[in-house]
Structure 1
């Protein structure tokens, strides 16, 4: 089956949110997905989008996605922040993640970002092994912090 990598469209948002929930379930935190579909759509396709995404489509069905936004580092400048990358469980092992990640690299270069940054859970060995294929650097020094407002 042919896989097509393309930019996400507004019409993809319902499926993307389904995949976000699938990822949250895999990461053992399904209760953490509280964004509404309307907010998700507005954030990606409203007057001032704050995220962009690529989808992997096969026979009209989105089987994976990679969603990013622009992060600014006072040390490095503009960088791509990869918020989520997911390939559905039934479509894994066929190179779809590589196609998505390679497209992110192309996008980062075209937008003159000086790098791509992301997080991975320490127990997610399949993802860690995937990123190692790209010679990713892993930084154990930093602690994630957040607050709810």
Structure 2
């Protein structure tokens, strides 16, 4: 028998979090053995699309705290998936580049990631998934002006 939670039924944030947990469960069922988290995959994709991006800019774009970002970057670097280097114009900054191994892994995961994501959303048909993405983009666009700065990409 399920618990009643009628006072929570209209809380969008709670439902988003419960759906996020579902998506993470589907993700880890597929990708768990590879040892790459959703945040790490997002970083690989962002660095591939934005070569030599600065670590701080990427942390801000993905809403990852700088201290956590440094730890994640260190792990990706130790696994040989990306390299970090100080740019000539600012020794305090760190630029990121995918290694050959990082690009290979990213390419291997890309199509599987799309299929996995659609599997997690399979209760919705194609047009509903497109509409959900549109609505989520709308919420994300407005969140920068309404949310506190402590938001962080979670790994479940």
TM-score by length of 2: 0.27
- The answer to which structure, 1 or 2, has the higher relative contact order (CA under 8 A, 6+ apart) is 2
The structure having more radius of gyration, on CA atoms, is 2
Higher strand share: 1
TM-score by length of 1: 0.28
